[in-house]
Structure 1
Amino acid sequence: MFTFNPLLGAQSPSRASQSLLEFSGGIKILVDVGWDESFNAWDLQELEKHVNTLSIILLTHPTLTHIGAYAHCCKHVPGFSRIPVYATTPVVNLGRTLMLDLYGSSPLTASTLSFGSLLPVSEAESDRASLLLQPPTPEEIASYFGLINPLKYSQPHQPIPSPFSPSLSGLTITAYSAGHTLGGTIWHIQHGLESIVYAADWNLARERFLPAAAWLSSGSGILDPLHRPTALICSSRGVEREERLTVDTRNDTLISLIRDTIAQGGKVLIPTDSSARVLELAYVLNQHWRSNVDGPHSSTYKNTKIYMASRSSSTTLRYLQSMLEWMDGQITRDAEAAITQGQGAGGAVNPLDWKFVRPIEKQTQVERALARSKPCVLLTSDTTIEWGFSRQALESLASDAKNLIILTEQSQQGGGSRAGVGRRLWDLYQDSQGSTAGQNGTKVVDASGATVDIRDAAPEPLNDEETAVYQQYLARQRQMHSTLQGDNTLLDGTGAGMGDDQASESSESSDEDEDAEHQGRALKLSAQLTSNKRKVGALTDKELGIDILLRGKAVHDYDVRNKRGRERMFPFLPRRSRDDDFGDVIKPEEYLRADEKDEGEALDVTGEQESTSVGQKRKWDDSTVSKKNARGDKAGNKRAKVEPSAKKDRAPDAIDALIAKATGEAKAGTGGANGAGAADDQSSDSEESEYEPDDAAPSYIGPQKVVFTTRALQLDLRIAYVDFTGLYRLNDMKSLIGNINPRKLIVTAGDEHETQTLATACREAEGGQAVQGETFTPRTGECVDASVDTNAWTVKLTRGLMKRLRWSHAPGGLEVVALAGKLEAGGEEEAAAAAEESSAAKKKLKLIKGEGASSGAGSEGNPTLPILDLVSAHQTHHQRTQPLRVGDLSLPQIREAVQRQGHTAEFRGGGTLLVDGTVVVRKSPVTGGIEVEAGNSGFGLPHWRTRGPDGRANTEGTFYAVKQLIYDRLAVVIGA
């Protein structure tokens, strides 16, 4: 059984991609955790319902639309980080840099909750402000991506299921190159009879930096594992693009537009992503600058700088040095030659030497680059011009008609009703009748007089009513996740949105020998949290279920009759393990010096510090003693406390000098360091300063909301468009679909018109290239059954029949057997077992709908499994089945086996294998079986001949021997 459920992005203007694949046995695979530029947390609500049933997660591309919500779910969705995640190494590395750029550039617009979904407010008020969830820190992002299991291309892997998933039963996943991005993946998923190919955002064309999709193998048509799948899941995004440009023509058009602009003294802005398609753009520009910096227009190129502006651009370029094998083959060979021969006079040039591309990561660096009087090219994040440096660059360049902005993709409407800046610029380009410039008649639009709406965001604290609503939302999230996961998460105060330090401290159980000075603070904090839970989001006895034995007052009994699963067991709150990969977690407070402990003791439970001065003795009056008792301090002879203000007046020691040297900050009394810094400033270029102050990091103290204000931006610059999306076109799919020959096709990840266009083209392809099976076009949230056989049945075998079975091993790790038996109706025991298996699914469905666990949830409505038993002796009148050979051999496997026997075998056109020049082996495009044909010289004795005196192999008997070799590698199934 195989069902497909698109959670986001199917026949929708939103570009976010999330797909749920479910196989028999309760195996659920989530492919991609995408998001769009709206960053609305409510879009992930459907995903949260399936978290506690997911087996594994697969990621395809390191882009916002495929991986944007991963860090958010790890932080705010309980249990999500426990699910095994699989991706290629570039997707892991570049996805990490994307998250660092996203949350570093726009922490205000990431992870928001609209007030319209929580309060009965008007639509205008809902668009004006949204609740702001706490974004993950860089350390948390690094830890989340450290959990991902990296894979290589063409490497079959049997994944490990999540703790709350059933056995994967031989599930195999394999990654193949998808093009479009570095490490982009086409996933092949094999489970039983189901062979699923998930291809999202692939590119059949080979680019300069990125390889092409791995649909075609060398000399034998479609790659064998991707041929004839039971279901092909394909994205439809971008299939309607009109113009068809080759890679060389596209690059020449881009260079022509840039050259014309910088020759007039203008600046060029190219909004793109921060870790995927930007690499292809940067590589093309870097190579062009390298080849023309000493040419006839050398002065123009020398004075024009290329900036790669994102919060993680340096990290992205650094990661590329270790991902050489994932790039285009020509780049790999050139880089290896440069490393071997060495660069310089007569040596090869390393293509990964980003000499002419300067990464900038800080706002001050972007301001300095925009303020230069000389022309420049800026590759900025992001394409929507909503959250990255592209917004700042557009505001600076909009007032000069010499400047040019080049759009690299057709902007979509997005997830919300509001059109972003990128969408507005695309509409201006589409609606205007611009002049042509450069090569290939590229249209350039003069946007003088047009305006676009810019939406600014600012954080503000919540008022009393908004705070109450926010806490109710957190209580509902904790309740839902606790009940669905079947554990005691509800009791520990952790849940969605609990990102502050106090919540995390209260969730960890303290050791029995914890210091007494921390007990008072912990008790007070626990009391405050318990009080908040009683006031906000209180749960009824029915909602608590079996947990009432722990949370209810004076409740010592609970009726477990007719209950199932967790409701039959006494609740148990396990002690949280406080250890890491190196053993027990070390508490720094246990190793404090005496004076450091005194400083901590100087703070009472309200956070106020007692006023004492250096050298002053404590006054052991009644008030002081009462405060010490409240903190749980036992000792009364502590040393005198030192105020922080007094410590700042001391002379700097050696440690301070080291810190000042590392950070570049001048300390009092270190005049030598100041002199060195002045000398460095004089020697460096004024425009390329080595030191840049860090951007002020926003502080998140308590729950906040983000308030949006809209203003108009006057445009005077020019707009052009060059297709750099790197996606396949409709003609590419038409040429491949007949060779792939899927039994069923599922079209997803596109708007309604794109989806219907691709589905219609695949159904009506000419020349026998149309899809022979059924084509599905589901909408978001619509589940479709795409099993290879929708009439499959499940039966239960008796022990006697199981002992008579003789299994045969088939290629691909499968075992097959032929048997004869009789079907009988299942008894009461079988019915009870079937009801037990489906009770968990029923209970989850009811809890999602807000219903309690029904005491009558049992076998009602569950069909019993039929039993397959042995045929008695007096009933054995059936005809014995003939031996059957089953299995699936690929042509490369046959070629390897033939060559081991000492004969020649080579691939020829049309996906055929020629053995000894006389026997042809091919796979039938209809049935998938192996066909063997031979000429007159190929027939002979049915065995291999040894080599002759001249060393050449004797081809006598090649036809029969090839067939025998194939038979030996298939499983023989004989009727039982």
Structure 2
Amino acid sequence: MFNFTPLLGAQSASAASQSLLEFDGGIKVLIDAGWDESFDVEKLKEMEKHVPTLSFILLTHATTAHLGAFAHCCKHFPLFTRIPVYATIPVIALGRTLLQDLYASTPLASSIIPLHVLTDSAHPITSYEDGHAPNILLQAPTPEEIASYFSLINPLKYSQPHQPLPSSFSPPLNGLTITAYSAGHTLGGTIWHIQHGMESVVYAVDWNQAREHVLSGAAWLGGSGADGSEVLEQLRRPTAMICSSKRSGPLAIAGQRNKRDDTLLSMIRDTVGNGGSVLIPSDSSARVLELAYLLEETWRKETSTRQGTNQLKNVKVYLAIKTGGATMRNVLSLQEWMDEGIVKEFETKSAPQVDQDQNRSRGQQRGGAKAEDDKAAKPPFDFRHITILEKKSRVMRMLRRKEPRVIIASDTSMEWGFSKDAIKSLASDERNLIILTERAGETGAQVKGLGRHLWELWNERSESSRQDPVSTAVVSASGHQTTMQSTRTVPLEGNELSLYQQYLAKQRQLHQTEEDELVRATTVWQQILDDNSQSSPSSEDEEDFVAQGKPLSVAYILGRARTKNQPTEEELGPTILIRNKGVQDYYTGAEKGRRAMFPFEPPPRRREDDYGEELVQGEFETKENDDDGVTKRRKVDETTTSGPGEDPESSDSEPEENPDKVEGPSKVILGTETLQLNCQISFVDFSGLHDRRTIQMLVPLIRPRKLILIAGEEAETNELAEECHKVLNAGAGEAVVIIDVFTPTVGMVIDASVDTNAWMAKLSRGILRKLQWQQVRGLGVVAITGKLAAASLEPSAKQAEGGAKKKVKLETAAPEEEEKMDTTPILDVVPTNMATAIRSVAQPFHVGDLRLADLRKIMQSSGMTAEFRGEGVLVINGTVSVRKTATGRIEVDGGAYSLADVKTTETSSFWQVKKKIYDGLAVVGGGAM
């Protein structure tokens, strides 16, 4: 069983992404905790409902659309930090700096307490002006808290299968395996492959097949270094493929990287040549790497007297991001996640820089030309021509200068980053140019985001955009006015503080109740599992055992605690004797199994590790109350994260001037301001996403049994679904299974289980005695060839014991007896006269998948030497090489020395390797039984 539910980001203009995957046995997987620039907590309600039943969480990209709500959930959702989270190392590192930048840039990221939560307070809403409640903000996580949240994420590497650990309130995962593959688009971006039983799910949202300066393409065809002829075996023929339809409209044709870069640089040259400045809104951690690398390399060539034209020599480039220094330092340590070309560039440019540092320490002098060569040998992202600005005061000083410049600022929505401040300063001059790098999503607020508004304005005024997606069209916004949202935080006053304190008290009580119920329910469930491991329940108790299992104990109880409803006596069963006061009797005459026994609630048990009882996070913290009555925690040994890096011209001792910053409980005052646009607007697609042509090419090669399209607007999703349905079912006749293409909306549940034609059949005693089971990775495998007979021809057990040979005739049976009769067909042994013909047709085959890492351990345990050399080639005893192709085929190559002793195959390395490989697979015969 596999169900898929998009919680956010399906047939919607919002870029936020949240997806829920449900597998057999109550396993629930949340992929992404995205948010948009509205920061509306109502959009997280559906995810919050599933938190008590989640098994683990996966994160795909270090962008706001994929993990913007992660810190909010960790701070304000009980039990969320107890759920295991998995992501790649770059997603963890860059996601941390992204959220630190987000919460430091806008107070709205803290989230406004919803109106309906405050309606049952002691102070009526109508007591405030205009009958509206104040926009009271929740407590924002500090940079230290954000760092601690991301330290809880389990790091993974590409192409390494991993069996995740479930949460303490999750059912067993039963061998579920997750594997991360490169998605392109962002550094560490992930395509997830989830294998559970017969269900194989590929989750691919926001990927890019094309190679770029910094990022390699998606791993569909094997990634860099592969021949690219076939899709990886692990990603081929999945049960369901969940793919994004974003940027798949009729204008989305595969763009060329060189044309894209030349278009951007040409616009910059023309603008600065006319005395104007260029603003390029980008994100804080993902696509900004591609832009920064391109501009740094261009300025290095332009300022070189040997290669450049000196047109950009006096033009400065600024990177305005609050955590820009920390982001670039993280990138310098993530070289192995980049494309092979830039990795070689790191290696070639780092060596001269090391020699320069050593010579400088020895006091040796170098010539001017040699020193210039050493300066040019700086590794990527160790900027020489880009100045990083992290403080708002320095950004405002830069904007007041009357000189041509190029500014990369966060963010693309222009709602919370430095790009919002930059456009206020640059919009009035018609010489300035704003280059949009991707289509901004809608937030759903009453006032449309500025980034989305500018993109729609350019799309309307640019006629060439309807013909060429990599357009060079520059339109003038002269005479156009727009509104943008303004925010200002102020301290709470009067009844607002009491209202806020009452809300905090209610939340603490609710969280404590859920924590207590979880501890009790988990302890009971663990005790049941321990008892069940020693003595499994009988067949008559199985149904009751499942009914009193985990879903009733955890998910149901937490749901009741949240809605303040008490379970009924029928739902409680015999546990009413210990849960309700004054109840001494409970009738169990009609009950079976555990419901007929007196309930027992074991005392809570502390979890233990190798060093004894586990320590609870925050157990050694002291609580303090400030003057406003807000409880704060102070660690005994407080440590702070290293501050973000500054550019060479900055003053580290200069404090950040933020007059809007408020200590303690606060509220936000929202307003609007009018912005007169006289500047130029253009669009160059730097989003790094797949297009329609790429999807139409790859999906038939992947051949999913079911295709689910999400993460796109309604029109482009429906158009792509129609095209994919035609491509996947081209030439399908009556005998071919039609591949379904789903386009769910937010909240719609899609049943995407594996589509098999399954029938029930009974095995005869004769065929049961001949079964020869083989074990492959904990699963029993057997091939059965038999003769299927109707149930009416099989004598019953009583008739067999008495020797009766009478056949039951269905046509003479009464209607009541016919309903009670078992009509399941019987699979019996093939007669001797037919066995020879069937055996000649059925061919034996191998079942299983051999991992080279497992083979390496097996050979080492057998006393042989085994090590990996080259590109994934396992060399054994220095004479036998074993490689696994992208299609899963095992190739064994042995030289003459591996067959030195042909007479004694046990001592031959070649034959020993072959034997171990076959031992790891099940050879299923095709003969009749």
TM-score (norm 1): 0.66
Q: 1:780 aligns with which of 721, 728, 746?
A: 746
- The answer to whether the aligner puts 1:757 opposite 2:719 as a matched pair is yes
Give the corresponding residue for 1:816. 781
- Residue 25 of structure 1 and its aligned partner are, at CA, apart by 1.5
1:723 equivalent to 2:658? Answer no
Match of 1:8 in 2: 8
Aligned position for 1:638: none
Counterpart AA for 1:258: I
Secondary structure of 1:733's match?
helix
User: Counterparts in 2 of 1:513-592, with a 5 A limit?
Assistant: 568=599
Match of 2:38 in 1: 38
Partner AA of 1:738 in structure 2 = P
Kindly provide the amino acid, as one letter, of the partner of residue 230 in structure 1: T
- What is the aligned partner in structure 1 of residue 796 from structure 2? none
Corresponding residue to 1:181 among 176, 180, 186: 186
- 1:48 correspondence with 2:29: no
Q: Output the CA distance in 2 between the equivalents of 1:166 and 1:289.
A: 56
Mapped to 2, the partners of 1:559 and 1:878 lie a distance apart of 62
Say which SS state the counterpart of residue 94 (structure 2) adopts.
helix
Q: Does the 8 Å CA contact 2:763/2:827 hold for their aligned counterparts?
A: no
Q: In the superposition, relative to structure 1, how do residues 368 and 243 fare at CA in structure 2: closer, same or farther (>3 Å)?
A: farther
Contact 1:472-1:537 at 8 Å conserved across structures = no
Shift of 1:971: 2.9
Match of 2:349 among 335, 338, 354: 338
From 155, 160, 163, the equivalent of 2:165 is 160
The residue type paired with residue 476 of structure 2 is D
Aligned to 1:362: 391
What's 1:279 paired with?
289
Which of 26-35 and 91-100 deviates more?
26-35
Measure the CA separation in 1 of the matches of 2:312 and 2:165: 53
Q: Which residue of 2 aligns with 1:323?
A: 334
Deviations 1:331-378 (A, max 9, x none): 001111223454764675523332222222111111122122322211
One-letter amino acid matched to 1:718: Q
User: Residue 480 of structure 2 aligns with which residue?
Assistant: 450
Equivalent in the alignment of 2:177: 172
* C-alpha spacing 1:489/1:872, structure 2 compared with 1 (3 Å): closer
CA distance in 1, matches of 2:501, 2:686: 42
* Contact 1:116–1:126, Cα closer than 8 Å, also in 2: no
Q: How many percent identity over aligned positions?
A: 44
The one of 210, 233, 243 aligned to 1:224: 233
State the partner residue of 1:233: 242
For 1:720 and 1:160, how far apart are their aligned partners in 2? Answer: 48
Q: Distance in 1 between matches of 2:31 and 2:441?
A: 22
Using the TM superposition, give the Cα deviation of residue 776 of structure 1 relative to its aligned residue in structure 2, in angstroms: 1.2
1:738 and 1:731 map into 2 onto residues whose CA distance is: 12
User: Per-residue displacement from partner, 1:409-439 (whole Å, max 9, x unpaired)?
Assistant: 1223223343111111112212225899x99
Deviations 1:143-194 (A, max 9, x none): 1100111111111111111111111111111111110000111111111111
Q: CA 1:134–1:791 in structure 2 vs 1: closer, same or farther (change >3 Å)?
A: farther
Deviation (angstroms), 1:555: 6.4
CA gap of 1:716–1:699, structure 2 versus 1, over 3 A, is closer
1:12 is paired with a residue of what secondary structure?
A: coil
Letter in 2 for 1:788: V
Q: How many angstroms does 1:471 deviate by?
A: 4.2
Q: Which consecutive unaligned segments of at least 5 residues does structure 1 have?
A: 491-535, 591-599, 608-661, 664-683, 825-865, 901-920, 933-942, 954-961
Partners of 2:447 and 2:484 within 8 A in 1:
no
Partner of 2:802: none
Shift of 1:582: 8.5
SS in 1 for 2:485: strand
The answer to whether the 8 A contact 2:282-2:411 is kept is yes
The answer as to whether partners of 2:27 and 2:54 remain within 8 angstroms in 1 is yes
Q: Partners of 1:585 and 1:134 in 2: how far apart?
A: 18
Distance in structure 1 (CA, Å) of the matches to 2:178 and 2:448: 39
Task: Give the Cα–Cα distance (whole angstroms) in 1 for the partners of residues 596 and 142 of structure 2.
Answer: 38
- Closer, same or farther: CA 411–717 of 1 in aligned 2, 3 Å: same
1:99 paired to 2:108: no
Out of 187, 190, 214, which is 2:219 matched to?
214
Q: CA deviation at 1:258?
A: 1.1
Deviations 1:482-504 (A, max 9, x none): 469942699xxxxxxxxxxxxxx
The CA deviation at 1:117 is 7.3
1:261 aligns with 2:271: yes
| Mapped partners of 1:410, 1:269: distance in 2 | 16
**Do the aligned partners of 1:579 and 1:585 also contact (CA within 8 Å) in 2?**
no
Instruction: From the superposition, tell whether residues 690 and 434 of structure 1 become closer, same or farther in structure 2 (CA, over 3 Å).
Output: farther
Shift of 1:573: 7.4
Shift of 1:809: 3.8
- Cα distance in 2 for partners of 1:879, 1:264 equals 88
Deviations 1:478-532 (A, max 9, x none): 6599469942699xxxxxxxxxxxxxxxxxxxxxxxxxxxxxxxxxxxxxxxxxx
Compared CA separation, residues 465 and 584, structure 1 to 2 (3 A): closer
Residue 310 of structure 2 corresponds to residue 290 of structure 1: no
Count, aligned residues? 754
Give the TM-score normalised by the residue count of structure 2: 0.69
SS of equivalent residue, structure 1 residue 386:
coil
- In the superposition, relative to structure 1, how do residues 125 and 174 fare at CA in structure 2: closer, same or farther (>3 Å)? farther
SS in 2 for 1:196: strand
Query: Where do 1:387-402 residues align within 5 Å?
Result: 387-402=416-431
Partner Cα distance (1:565, 1:277) in 2: 62
Q: Distance in 2 between matches of 1:301 and 1:138?
A: 37
Task: Quote the Cα distance in structure 1 between the aligned partners of 2:132 and 2:486.
Answer: 12
1:151 to 153, 156, 159: 156
Match of 1:789 in 2: 755
Name the CA distance, whole Å, in 2 between partners of 1:726 and 1:401.
Answer: 29
CA distance in 2, matches of 1:476, 1:467: 14
1:429 to 455, 458, 465: 458
Higher mean alpha-carbon deviation, 876-885 vs 736-745, is at 876-885
Give the match for residue 199 of structure 2.
194
Cα separation, 1, equivalents of 2:565 and 2:471: 70
- Superposition deviation, residue 794 in structure 1: 9.7
Give the residue type in structure 2 aligned to 1:156.
Answer: P
774 and 409 in structure 1: CA distance in 2 versus 1, 3 angstrom threshold: same
Give the aligned partner of residue 412 of structure 1. 441
Alpha-carbon distance in 1 for matches of 2:596, 2:180: 37
Equivalent residues in 2 for 1:420-499 (5 A)? 420-432=449-461, 442-460=472-490, 461=492, 464=495, 468=499, 471=502, 475=506, 479=510, 482=513, 486-487=517-518
1:972 equivalenced with 2:924 (yes/no):
yes
Cα displacement string for residues 596-629 of structure 1 (whole angstroms, at most 9, x for unaligned residues):
xxxx9xx99999xxxxxxxxxxxxxxxxxxxxxx
**Which stretch of the first structure deviates more once superposed, 693-702 or 244-253?**
693-702
Check 1:586–1:131 CA distance in 2 against 1; reply closer, same or farther (3 A cut). closer
Partner Cα separation in structure 1 for residue 486 and residue 626 of structure 2: 40
Give the distance between the partners of 2:885 and 2:5, measured in 1 at CA: 37
Q: Distance in 2 between matches of 1:604 and 1:718?
A: 50
CA contact (8 A) 1:303 1:374 kept: no
Q: Which runs of structure 2 are paired with 1:86-125 in the superposition (5 Å)? A: 86-115=86-115, 119=119
Deviations 1:863-905 (A, max 9, x none): xxx99999999x9999899677454678998xx99xx9xxxxx
TM-align CA RMSD: 5.4
User: What amino acid is the match of 1:451?
Assistant: Q
Aligned in 2, Cα 1:362/1:890: closer, same or farther, shift over 3 Å?
A: same
Q: Answer yes or no: is the 8 Å Cα contact 2:83–2:166 preserved in 1.
A: yes
* Inter-partner Cα distance in structure 2 for 1:486 and 1:66: 31
| In 2: Cα distance, 1:19 partner to 1:418 partner | 27
CA-CA distance at 1:302 after TM superposition: 3.4
Q: Distance in 1 between matches of 2:5 and 2:46?
A: 11
Partner of 2:636: none
